[in-house]
């Protein structure tokens, strides 16, 4: 049997993050502590991302508040697929409670990508991140006009050192035509290849169009919103997605199931943050350390004041 204590938290961003989904200025989540009958403690975190299709903070809180004072393993293993961030939070708390004092894999060896501020601010932000060792950067697009964003992208590419790599993330904000225009630019930067990939160009319901684009252009396309949870990821895998899968472990469901799937299917995976705290980040990076095939998207410290 287990007991739970939990604590909601709020962290404000130093500056709001602008994406195609809108302006985001505060990360809300829940920190969990599980205790088993032997007095062992396990920590976990629920960091929902409802605009990606996960549960809301309120739904996660409701789940936590309505667990009985003492509950069994079965209850923790039977959390609904409709609560993927809760599945992750409880699943990783269980692992941290019962695990070998994590052979800490080679978390330290992972390469990290840094998220740039959206728009012109990207141009002044990257040098400090370069000094901190980042060589891969992500820029949000699909926010202002195509011409403005393409200008900015060209300027950024001309200012970044040749060894830098840029990821473009549209958060589903393009249409078929603008996606093609972006992919022309991306392919044009090859073979020196400054643009690593284009992330989620089209909305989730346009899988077939993204499949077509991925065959038409050399620059890889990465699915993100389309593969937010493990069942969605499996669905896209089974439909033959040939490109990259962005995995946000904190909203994808039970970490055990994610690990199992990635260990048995050779997918090109980018592990990515949802602005979780150190607790969730640790659990995500532990998965990434053995399963990641590219730089991970956890370079976000510069977004918080504390």
Ligand X SMILES: O=C(O)CCC(=O)c1ccccc1C(=O)O
Q: Please report, in range form, the residues annotated as the binding site for Mg(2+).
A: 169, 199, 224
205 CB contacts (<8 Å, ≥6 apart)? none
Cβ proximity to Mg ion, 169 vs 276, nearer residue: 169
Q: How far apart are CA 126 and CA 144, in angstroms?
A: 20
Q: Could you confirm whether 140 is annotated as catalytic?
A: yes
Stretches 122-130, 149-157, 183-191, 271-279: which one binds ligand X (CB under 6 A)?
271-279
Give the one residue of 206, 273, 286, 292 binding ligand X; rule: CB under 6 A.
273
Cβ proximity to Mg ion, 129 vs 170, nearer residue: 170
Q: How far apart are CA 302 and CA 132, in angstroms?
A: 11
Q: How far is the CB of 273 from ligand X (least distance, A)?
A: 5
Q: How far apart are CA 90 and CA 233, in angstroms?
A: 21
Give the one residue of 61, 95, 138, 217 binding ligand X; rule: CB under 6 A.
138
H or E segment and range at residue 214 = helix 207-216
For 65-84, b/e burial (b = at least 16 CB within 10 A) is eeeeeeeeeeebeebeeebb
> Which residue's CB comes closest to ligand X?
297
Residue 297 touches which member of ligand X, Mg ion, none, C-beta under 5-8 Å by kind: ligand X
Cα 83–chain centre separation: 17
Q: How many residues does the chain have?
A: 306
Cα 140–chain centre separation: 14
Binding pattern for the stretch 199-238 against ligand X, x by CB under 6 A and - elsewhere: -------------------------x--------------
Residue 113 touches which member of ligand X, Mg ion, none, C-beta under 5-8 Å by kind: ligand X
Q: How far apart are CA 226 and CA 122, in angstroms?
A: 26
Residue 273 touches which member of Mg ion, ligand X, none, C-beta under 5-8 Å by kind: ligand X
Active-site residue numbers?
140, 248
């Amino acid at each position: 049997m287990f007991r739970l204590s939990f604590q909601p938290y709020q962290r404000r961003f130093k500056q709001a993050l602008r994406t195609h989904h809108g302006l985001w200025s505060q990360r809300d989540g829940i920190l969990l502590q599980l205790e088993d009958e032997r007095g062992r403690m396990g920590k976990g975190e629920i960091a929902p991302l409802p605009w990606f299709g996960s549960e809301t903070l309120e739904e996660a809180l409701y789940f936590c508040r309505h667990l009985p004072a003492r509950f069994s393993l079965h209850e923790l293993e039977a959390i609904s697929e409709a609560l993927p961030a809760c599945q992750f939070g409880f699943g990783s708390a269980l692992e941290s409670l019962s695990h070998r004092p994590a052979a800490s894999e080679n978390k330290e060896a992972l390469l990290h990508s840094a998220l740039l501020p959206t728009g012109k601010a990207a141009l002044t932000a990257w040098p400090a991140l370069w000094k901190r060792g980042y060589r891969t950067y992500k820029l949000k697009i699909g926010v202002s006009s195509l011409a403005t964003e393409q200008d900015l992208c060209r300027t950024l590419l001309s200012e970044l050192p040749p060894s830098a790599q840029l990821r473009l993330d549209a958060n589903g904000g393009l249409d078929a035509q603008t996606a093609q225009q972006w992919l022309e630019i991306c392919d044009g930067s090859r073979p020196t290849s400054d643009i690593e990939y284009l992330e989620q160009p089209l909305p989730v319901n346009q899988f077939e169009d993204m499949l077509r684009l991925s065959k038409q252009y050399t620059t890889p396309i990465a699915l993100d919103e389309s593969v937010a949870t493990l069942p969605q990821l499996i669905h896209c895998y089974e439909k033959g997605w040939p490109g990259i899968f962005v995995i946000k472990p904190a909203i994808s469901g039970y970490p055990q199931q994610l690990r199992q799937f990635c260990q048995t299917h050779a997918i090109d995976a980018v592990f990515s943050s949802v602005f979780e705290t150190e607790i969730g980040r640790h659990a995500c990076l532990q998965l990434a350390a053995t399963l990641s095939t590219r730089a991970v998207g956890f370079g976000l410290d510069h977004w918080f004041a504390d």
